Chains A and B, each alone.
Chain A
């Protein structure tokens, strides 16, 4: 890595003692000698293991659940169903007033995606829990399912989630989060070229080294200590408090070093049911996802579809951009309404465009619920935006890097969401990339600056 101090030298200071120093990490020796403790290193006498019975169907009504054979299985201590969960219907962003509650801890009457948790089995060993889970009999009536966002938005599509009433998240602005800036149709009418393109992604797994999980210890003072690898301690504690209808003072969450998060450990999935199991049995409980559960059950990055329509002039100026973004939330909200909305605040990218129209939708389908992942709301949008930029440059016969300089935002430029640009540095990054990659651009671009009224 090289630090290029010649850029922004007038606003950088080198008068610090500890900041800017490449100090060795104090936790590295523990990591590389295997001494760092992770949550799963806790192993308490009498600890039970929790395994989930999961839906084999994408969408089905549950006619009945028979747990009698599972309960008789040797080593089984407790079998939990929806009726055991005090506040079974929840949604995690209710803490920041983004409702409605739309998801069940354990399925109640219906499953909406293949893999949904239906029954929790607690047993003396992992093997006994797994074997007993296989003995739970669930009678399903399979329902039509919808897997594609475009299909889900068509009239007459199967309704994925009754708590929403339609297959999209209803924002206060309507079916989508909107940004309106300038007059996009007038911009298209005045453009030399129009280019409309569609981009698509598939779900992506966080692939952390350490899978999601927790170990719960019921303490002598009527409290529960939950050793967890959540990325957000109080967010998880407060949601658990709601789901279990248990005062937060009864809960003690202990984290530590997490073996990789990438956004995959902010869904509050394992902790509430494990604590409930500990409460109802009076014994320590371990609930740790297998690698298969981590890959196919835990929320992935959403599949997204992004449609971009641009109006561009022969001289390289983009004068109108319309973006329609679709985020596939799967069957439940989790963090997806937030992610789709983040996209609306991100488009049209780091470029100054006078006429902008943005609609971002959060769509429900009968798929594994998606949620947070490194950059969600932006990562796939940037793929779409920057491939589109390349196509536009080639359309007007311009160098792709020079084309970006022409449109790059600078301090003081008004963004589509009506915030003036501050602290821009796109131009300088491109100048340095031009040098580092030996990708020459015209001298006038190398003389530009992100500063207001910069050359």
Chain B
């Protein structure tokens, strides 16, 4: 009887957005009288930080600091339609809608600034700090604060924009299955290292090294929180979780967190996250949707590591100590 060590690898891809498309999201952007910007959506923030990302996307597109943008969302009386927050679609779909709306608002903003500065709008650029400058002559400038005041009280303009993003729905061909499930895919490769106690069947995940390719990390800190959380969830799926431990038997399901097993802080592996960026052709600033895929590669990587450690294949999830011990017993018997 011994503690045995093994490692396993898995590589995956994952589609961004609702499968087969047909899932629209719309956005509205407008400025306040003092040049702050309001993004109006009906998308839902599930705690992943959608509001923050939409603010950064709007700020980048308009050309103002992020703290000049407020996001109002998840209200059907004010926000235009969003299909919902699922299928790794929030950043990709809503982000594109926000960019389109912000571009339209930016154009009005530049037109008002052009009137104030008596130049052509096409000769203007933003400095990202809240000012509009004449290209090549930055001493000639106006603040977005003053442009918004002018638009509201002097010029009678609405600095606002409408945005929408829709990937047309694909219908699978009946006999061949020819279809377009998605327009862009995120990627991952995970190497997991485990110890397996061949006396108790207990698995300890020592390290998980994840490489994720996600198009573009719009906010690296928020990407990190999502990828680390996903990696933990993958380990949890591999080794712990089920509401019905003896499928197809319906009994023995957990009804609270004492009975429904998940890893505690002491069960979490040393987790490494490495991000690669291959910008997607149709993502907002190149982003893809990593929300779901980041929890997938750990499951087979851990399963393969268990085999590497003790030489038994557990092809049924979750990989419990009971299943490992039964497999070891069958292996010894044969």
Interface residues of A (CB under 8 A from B): 1-5, 7-8, 11-12, 16-27, 58, 96, 114, 147-149, 151, 172-174, 177-181, 197-205, 207, 230-235, 237, 251-263, 266, 291-292, 295-296, 300, 303, 338, 341-342, 344-346, 349-350, 358, 365, 367-368, 372, 374-375, 377-380, 382-387, 389-391, 400-401, 404, 408-409, 416-419, 422-426, 428-430, 432-433, 436-437, 439, 450
A432/B189 contact (C-beta < 8 A), A260-B46, A260-B47 known: yes
A231 to B85, CA, bound (A): 5
- Min Cβ gap B301→A in Å is 7
Which residues of the partner chain A approach B191 to less than 8 Å between Cβ atoms? 433, 436-437, 439
How many Å lie between the Cα of A391 and that of B313 in the bound state?
9
Beta-carbon contact of A232 and B86 below 8 Å: yes
- Chain A residues in 8 Å Cβ range of B123: none
Is the CB of B32 closer than 8 A to any CB of chain A? no
B248: A residues at CB distance < 8 A: 147-149, 151, 303, 365, 367
Q: Which residue of B45, B79, B244, B291 is within 8 Å of A257 (Cβ)?
A: B45
Question: Contact between A292 and B255 (Cβ–Cβ < 8 Å)?
Answer: yes
Q: Of all chain B residues, which has the CB nearest A200?
A: B316
Interface string of B198-220 (1 = CB under 8 A from A): 00000000000101110011111
Number of A-B contacts (CB under 8 A): 407
| A387 with B295, Cβ < 8 A, contacts A202-B247, A341-B19, A345-B181 known | no
Q: Distance (Å) between the CB of A335 and the closest chain B CB?
A: 9
Cα separation A432 to B142 with both chains bound (whole Å): 47
List chain A residues, Cβ under 8 A from B278.
Answer: 7-8, 11, 423, 425, 428, 450
The answer to whether A379 touches B295, judged by C-beta atoms less than 8 angstroms apart, is yes
Is A390 within 8 A of B243, CB to CB? no
Binary interface encoding of chain B residues 221-262 relative to chain A, with 1 for a CB under 8 A from any of its CBs, else 0: 111100110000100011001111111111001111100101
A202 pairs with B317, CB closer than 8 A: yes
User: In the complex, which residue of chain A has the Cβ closest to the Cβ of B254?
Assistant: A295
A180 engages B243 (CB within 8 Å): no
Cβ B253 vs Cβ A295 within 8 A: yes
Q: Kindly state the separation between the CA atoms of A391 and B222 in the bound complex, as whole angstroms.
A: 36
Complex Cα spacing A384 to B300, Å: 7
Interface string of B41-66 (1 = CB under 8 A from A): 01111110101100111011001011
Interface pairs A-B: 6 shortest CB-CB: A232-B84, A255-B74, A179-B177, A386-B300, A345-B181, A17-B128
In the complex, which of the residues A7, A22, A260 contacts B219, with contact meaning CB atoms closer than 8 Å?
Answer: A22
Which residues of chain A have C-beta atoms less than 8 A from B276's C-beta? 4, 7-8, 425, 428-429, 432
Pick the interface stretch among B9-17, B110-118, B145-153: B9-17
Which of B133-141, B159-167, B279-287, B324-332 sits within the interface? B279-287
Contacts of B182 in A (CB 8 A): 345
> By the criterion CB–CB under 8 Å, are B52 and A27 in contact?
yes
User: Which of chain A's residues have a CB closer than 8 A to the CB of B86?
Assistant: 231-232, 261, 263, 266, 372
Residue among B83, B84, B177, B182 with the highest chain A CB neighbour number at 10 A: B177
Contact call A235/B83, Cβ cutoff below 8 A:
yes
CB distance from B204 to the nearest CB of A (A): 17
B82 part of interface (Cβ distance < 8 Å) = yes
Whether A382 contacts B45 by the Cβ 8 Å rule is no
Supposing A257-B45, A341-B172 touch, asked if A418 and B178 sit within 8 A by C-beta, the answer is yes
Shortest Cβ distance from B230 into A: residue: A374
- The residue on B at minimum CB distance from A150 is B248
Distance, CA A368 to CA B67, complexed state (A): 45
**Are B79 and A20 in contact (CB-based, < 8 A)?**
no
Question: Known contacts being A367-B250, A417-B178, is A27 close to B45, with CB within 8 Å?
Answer: yes
Q: Which of B85, B275, B293, B303 contacts A3 (CB 8 A)?
A: B275
- With A and B bound together, what is the CA distance between A20 and B182 in angstroms? 24
Task: List the B residue with the shortest CB-CB distance to A236.
Answer: B84
Give the interface centre of A198, A234, A254, A292 by most chain B CB atoms within 10 Å: A234
Check: B8 CB closer than 8 A to any chain A CB.
yes
Inside 8 A of A296's CB, which chain B residues have their CB? 243, 253, 255
Contact A418 B176 (CB under 8 A): yes
CB distance from B42 to the nearest CB of A (A): 5
Q: Pick the contact of B20: A172, A291, A345, A425 (CB < 8 A).
A: A345
Question: Could you show 16 A-B contacts with beta carbons less than 8 Å apart?
Answer: A3-B277, A18-B128, A21-B56, A173-B174, A258-B45, A261-B85, A341-B19, A367-B248, A386-B301, A390-B8, A390-B303, A425-B187, A425-B276, A428-B213, A433-B209, A437-B9
Alpha-carbon distance between A427 and B174 when the two chains are bound, in angstroms: 32
**CB of B75 closer than 8 Å to a CB of A:** yes
Decide: A2 near B250, CB < 8 A? Known: A200-B315, A349-B13, A386-B12.
no
A230 contacts which chain B residues (CB < 8 A)? 44, 84
Q: How far is the CA of A349 from the CA of B292 in the complex (A)?
A: 16
Instruction: Flag if A432 contacts B274 (CB, 8 Å).
Output: yes
Q: How far is the CA of A419 from the CA of B303 in the complex (A)?
A: 31
With A1-B220, A3-B217, A23-B219 known as contacts, the answer to whether A423 contacts B280 (CB < 8 A) is yes
Q: Which residues of A contact B253 (CB under 8 A)?
A: 295-296
Closest to B213 in A: A425
Min distance, Cβ A409 to any Cβ of chain B, angstroms: 8
Contact A4 B274 (CB under 8 A): yes
Q: Are B187 and A259 in contact (CB under 8 A)?
A: no
A237 CA to B77 CA, complexed, in Å: 11
The answer to whether A439 and B9 touch across the interface, beta carbons within 8 angstroms, is: yes
B103, CB-defined interface residue at 8 Å: no
Query: In the assembled complex, how far is the CB of residue A300 from the closest CB belonging to chain B, in whole angstroms?
Result: 5
- What residues of B have a CB within 8 angstroms of the CB of A450 in the complex? 278
Contacts of B49 in A (CB 8 A): 25, 27
Q: Bound complex: CA of A425 vs CA of B8, how far in Å?
A: 20
CB-CB under 8 A from B120, the residues of chain A are: none
Q: Evaluate contact between A291 and B11: CB separation under 8 angstroms.
A: no
Contacting residues, chain A, for B280 (C-beta < 8 A): 423
B180 at the interface (CB under 8 A from A): yes
How far is A431 from B28 in the complex, measured between Cα atoms in Å?
42
> Quick one: which of A181, A401, A423 contacts B281, CB cutoff 8 A?
A423
Bound form: Cα–Cα A383–B235 in Å = 12
Is B81 an interface residue, CB under 8 A from the partner? yes
Q: Chain B residue with minimal CB distance to A225?
A: B77
Cβ-neighbour of B316 out of A7, A201, A428, A429 (below 8 A):
A201
18 additional A-B pairs beyond A8-B276, A358-B177, A382-B10, beta carbons within 8 Å, are A8-B277, A25-B52, A180-B175, A203-B244, A207-B257, A231-B44, A231-B85, A233-B74, A291-B257, A300-B243, A378-B15, A379-B237, A382-B296, A383-B303, A404-B11, A417-B178, A423-B280, A424-B185
